[in-house]
């Protein structure tokens, strides 16, 4: 099983103060992988006897029903609807209500929400703030020099600990922020009782490709369509099912028509439970520009299917180096490379259940929930010291 850094508390202090009440600030209930993971963690923390409150800037979005039973929900009395610069106002709007809730610790679910950290820290200086690095903290093109370090420090200001979702991502993060501010906790995209689906043989024609992601620039759905067009021109029998909605939906529909892909591409829109689509697919196609730990890769592997992906995260590099049978990582964001990789991958056997479990078993929920609580509790005890 993959090994991860686990935040281990000092056992001599284990009976001291702990984070009894954890606050999770979110902008709204929009669809997103970080929200889904955060809600799953919140439910697990409640089951372990902690109190968890979600503080939302607005009630918009379809994910509110996914907040587990037992997790409190508070929405700002004067909502801050999502807009281009709304994050810059959200922290000030949340500071008073957050202080009134009197949390022992704050969990920021991803980089998008780091903008609220300074205001919350000013309002609640003794409440430690832990933030998950859901995507690269600074653009890759900036490297690790003074500008990158300055930008990383500014953007993460107010966050006491930055959580990378794998040891490799923590190593990258430590090049631009002090290592003592970082830790690694595997992103829990797997429930403890989910078994890896075993498949035999290899994909059959026509190949069933699956794309799962928001139709947004980060996920680069137009590159998925360009890859589909290339596969068609290569004479590869296939279908591509695209799950997800977003701001680019109309543009994607127009591109499907422009490329004459209506016989090959099915746009499903948002699907609340994509598990059946993973079970029916032969391969996952990921075309993202950047990612942290993309949960859809884990969902695909649990369903027994390999992936073909762009070079969007060091985490995927680690998976492929561990066992190339899990999937293929191309070297450029290019339709030709992706199409060639899909064709080659389709001629190889499905990865075995044992190989998949060894690669992603560390991403199960209970271990991550415990590691986060250990981090919260240790930080609370540090604050309690004179």
Q: Could you tell me which residue, 309 or 166, shows the higher pLDDT?
A: 309
Residue 96 has pLDDT above 50, yes or no: yes
- pLDDT tens-digit readout, 318-342: 899 989 999 999 999 999 999 999 9
Q: CATH number for 207-361: choose from 1.10.3720.10, 1.10.275.10, 3.40.50.2000, 2.60.120.620.
A: 3.40.50.2000
Using pLDDT thresholds of 50, 70 and 90, give the confidence band for residue 16: confident
Residue 14 has pLDDT above 70, yes or no: no
Please give the full DSSP string across 292-348, using - where no structure is assigned: SS-HHHHHHHHTT--EEE-S--HHHHHHHHH-GGGEEE-SSS-HHHHHHHHHHHHTS
List of residues 6+ apart from 60 with CB closer than 8 A = 28, 29, 30, 81, 82
Using pLDDT thresholds of 50, 70 and 90, give the confidence band for residue 1: very low
pLDDT at 8 (0 to 100):
46
pLDDT at 19 (0 to 100):
97
11-188+364-384 shares its CATH topology with 207-361: yes
**The CATH number of the domain covering residues in 11-188+364-384:** 3.40.50.2000
Q: Give the mean pLDDT of 359-386.
A: 91
3-class secondary-structure state, position 240:
strand
DSSP 8-state secondary structure symbol assigned to residue 68: P
- pLDDT tens-digit readout, 108-139: 999 999 999 999 999 999 999 999 999 888 88
DSSP 8-state secondary structure symbol assigned to residue 364: B
Domain boundaries of the chain, sorted by first residue = 11-188+364-384, 207-361
> Whole-angstrom Cα distance, residue 118 to residue 94?
11
Helices marked H in the chain — which ranges?
A: 33-47, 86-101, 117-123, 146-155, 167-173, 221-233, 249-258, 275-280, 295-302, 314-322, 335-346, 353-360, 365-384
pLDDT at 105 (0 to 100):
98
Q: How far apart are the first and last CA of the chain?
A: 41
Residue in 335, 380, 325, 312 with CA at minimum distance from that of residue 355: 325
Q: Give the mean pLDDT of 197-202.
A: 89
């Amino acid at each position: 099983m993959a090994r991860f850094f686990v935040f281990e508390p000092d056992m001599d202090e284990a009976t001291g103060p702990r984070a009894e009440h954890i606050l999770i600030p979110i902008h709204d209930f929009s669809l997103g992988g970080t929200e889904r993971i955060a809600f799953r963690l919140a439910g697990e923390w409640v089951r372990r006897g902690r109190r968890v409150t979600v503080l939302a800037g607005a009630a918009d979005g379809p994910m509110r029903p996914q907040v587990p039973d037992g997790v409190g929900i508070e929405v700002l009395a004067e909502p801050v609807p999502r807009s281009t610069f709304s994050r810059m106002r959200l922290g000030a709007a949340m500071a008073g209500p957050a202080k009134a809730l009197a949390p022992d610790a704050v969990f920021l679910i991803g980089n998008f929400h780091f903008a609220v950290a300074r205001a919350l820290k000013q309002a609640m200086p003794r409440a430690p703030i832990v933030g998950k690095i859901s995507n690269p903290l600074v653009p890759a093109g900036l490297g690790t020099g003074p500008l990158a370090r300055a930008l990383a420090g500014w953007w993460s200001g107010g966050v006491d600990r930055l959580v990378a979702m794998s040891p490799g991502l923590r190593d990258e993060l430590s090049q631009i922020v002090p290592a003592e501010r970082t830790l690694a906790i595997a992103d829990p995209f797997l429930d403890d009782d989910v078994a890896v689906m075993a498949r035999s043989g290899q994909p059959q024609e026509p190949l069933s490709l699956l794309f799962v992601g928001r139709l947004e620039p980060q996920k680069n759905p137009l590159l998925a369509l360009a890859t589909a067009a290339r596969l068609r021109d290569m004479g590869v029998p296939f279908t591509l099912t695209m799950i997800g909605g977003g701001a680019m939906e109309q543009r994607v529909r127009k591109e499907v028509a422009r490329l004459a892909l209506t016989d090959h591409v099915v746009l499903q829109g948002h699907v609340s439970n994509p598990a059946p689509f993973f079970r029916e697919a032969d391969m996952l196609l990921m075309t993202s520009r950047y990612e942290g730990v993309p949960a859809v890769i884990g969902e695909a592997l649990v369903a027994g299917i390999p992936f073909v992906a762009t070079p969007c995260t060091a985490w995927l590099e680690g998976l492929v180096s561990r066992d190339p049978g899990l999937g293929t990582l191309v070297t450029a964001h290019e339709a030709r490379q992706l199409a060639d990789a899909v064709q080659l991958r389709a001629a190889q056997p499905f990865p075995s259940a044992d190989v998949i479990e060894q690669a992603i078993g560390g991403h199960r929920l209970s271990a991550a929930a415990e590691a986060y609580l250990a981090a919260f509790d240790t930080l609370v005890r540090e604050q309690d010291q004179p």
